[in-house]
Structure 1
Amino acid sequence: MTEKTAPLFSFGIVADPQYADVAPRPDMGRYYAQSPQKLDEAIAAFNSQDLAFVVTLGDIIDHGWENFDIILNCYDKLRHRSVMLPGNHDFSVAPQHLGTVHERLSMPSPWYDFTVGHVRFVVLDGSDVSLFAPPQGDPRRELAAQRLDVLKQAGAINAQNWNGSFSPEQVAWLSDTLDAAEKAGETVIIFCHYPLYPDNAHNMWDAPQTLELLSTRRCVKAWFCGHNHVGNYGQVSSTHFMNFKGMVDTLDENTFAIADIFEDRIEIRGFGREDSRTLLLSALTDRQQVAVAR
């Protein structure tokens, strides 16, 4: 196989800007008001590259509906497509705004997918069943309380009220979407705010069930997330679980990344605190095998 020197395409990655017009919390490593400046720097770097899109992996704000205005204005300078999904902090808004967070982030729906070439990107909402995202009176809040109680009784380290989980409807949609991708011979990269693996206090409540679902689909090559600001990485079979570091952390050191997609690997180019690494796509789909053979 002759290795290509240029990627098939590339995209930018930002995790947890978590902006708020409030004083910093050095004890937590949170410098909320610095995020627009860091995001401007990241966008300038992205604009100098040929990218298919830029994804922001949730926690665009720390709290407060009014803070969306400032941080989202930064994206007006971005010359590429912007893909966003909500994190837990994006729902720290007044109750009347809970039902419109996805719309504020210009999402076509709470979960959806799109393709670039033969790569299908799946955008998920891990706050779907949680104690904070569903509007008041929504039955998902009661389901969330039940799920959290079960985890607490089991002593699970991710039994935290700032984590979330998927609804049965989203799981069914994800299963159908992955089946279609598998049938089409596509590579799948999933975006979600919350990690699944390795085991960590920040993981989704239903991480074990979701991992089991993914394990039966060889098309799933990567799960990209934020939420755990220190970052993390693990691999299960041919799926890479990449947790990107939080932009809101540190006073003046930035963190963001660019992913270069090749037939046989994903190259993560880290900027600032983000690490660079190579994610090998060891189990290629049938369509990829044909493309590589050519």
Structure 2
Amino acid sequence: MLSRRSVLAASAALVAGKVGAAENRLRFGVIADPQYAEAPPHPTLGRYYANSLDKMRAAVAALNGEDLRFVVTLGDVIDRDVASYERILPIYRTLRHQTRFVLGNHDFDVAPEHRGRVPRLLGMEGPYYDFAVTGTRFIVLDGNDVSLFAPPPDDPRRTLAAERLERAKAEGLVNAKPWNGSLGDAQFAWLERSLQTARAAGERVVVLSHYPVAPGNPHNLWDAGRITTLLARQPHVIAYFSGHNHAGNYAERDGIHYVTFHGMVDTPASSAFAIVEIANNRLEIQGFGREPSRSLTLKPA
């Protein structure tokens, strides 16, 4: 027969277990490619630029009703013109959650004199950075680092970008497109150090990027191969989230879930965003609109 002390001890353990589970549970919102502009639609591409304001208002209303640690946008907040930021960013400011941004290619489709201001306009501490929440480190990449559009015209990264693009074309890569980009060597070295720091701290890692790296796709970074090779050696990396390919995509490699989220800008009325939950050995994605829901098993920590 159970004693009162045994019952109390069991109840305390149950409560402690529930509290521990709650502490290990991490929920956050994900938006990809609002790509707002006050411009007529481009039905051939499936782009309804101006409609993204109403879609963002609806997404904010839904996300504000949830208990989230932050909301991240995986690039292309705007489609063009620096004035577009003045229309869409006030909607972001109505989020009650911390807001994080990743830089996309269209975020730099502004006049050359404004390109250097883009990270500051988005309140970013730098074009690439990392942050930790509840035992998970989020590593934010800047795939525009070596590209034909983001660096200043006289920056040597432009020359390097042209060389990398020509090399990708010569190799027949499907992602040899001028609207993609790659990581500079300094950023790649920083990525390696950040992964090492997270592993030493016992943290899981989720990489956030505008550009996918897997599976093979015309929208992938030019240097996708060296990134996936690096990540494959990291047992603590659990996921890589990206946008850019508005149709969405998914692959699992080396126990890492590569999820490409659907673009919000596509279609006249249906939206796309998600809530992600990481808890114990599960990664749950609750999709809204055109974003599918996924239930993914995580490799052991």
Same topology, TM > 0.5? yes
State the match for 2:106 in structure 1: 89
State the match for 2:187 in structure 1: 170
State the match for 1:238 in structure 2: 255
2:65 to 45, 48, 66: 48
Matched residue type, 1:137: D
State the match for 2:202 in structure 1: 185
Q: Does 1:223 align with 2:240?
A: yes
State the match for 2:168 in structure 1: 151
1:114 to 131, 141, 161: 131
Runs of 4+ in 1 over 3 A off after TM superposition: 2-7
State the match for 1:75 in structure 2: 92
Matched residue type, 1:96: E
Aligned residue for 2:93, secondary structure, equals: helix
**CA-CA distance at 1:261 after TM superposition:** 1.2
Cα displacement string for residues 64-91 of structure 1 (whole angstroms, at most 9, x for unaligned residues)? 1111110111112100000001100011
1:103 to 113, 117, 120: 120
Matched residue type, 1:20: A
Matched residue type, 1:44: A
Q: Would the aligned equivalents of 1:85 and 1:105 in 2 still touch at CA under 8 Å?
A: no
C-alpha distance in structure 2 between counterparts of 1:125 and 1:263, whole Å: 29
Aligned residue for 1:45, secondary structure, equals: helix
State the match for 1:39 in structure 2: 56
The normalised TM-score by structure 1 is 0.94
**CA-CA distance at 1:9 after TM superposition:** 2.0
Cα displacement string for residues 170-226 of structure 1 (whole angstroms, at most 9, x for unaligned residues)? 000000000111122110001100000000000000000111111111111100000
The normalised TM-score by structure 2 is 0.92
C-alpha distance in structure 1 between counterparts of 2:297 and 2:60, whole Å: 27
Q: Would the aligned equivalents of 1:85 and 1:102 in 2 still touch at CA under 8 Å?
A: no
Mark the runs of 5 or more structure 1 residues left unpaired by the alignment. 286-294
Q: Does 1:141 align with 2:164?
A: no
* Structure with bigger gyration radius: 2
State the match for 1:204 in structure 2: 221
C-alpha distance in structure 1 between counterparts of 2:135 and 2:102, whole Å: 22
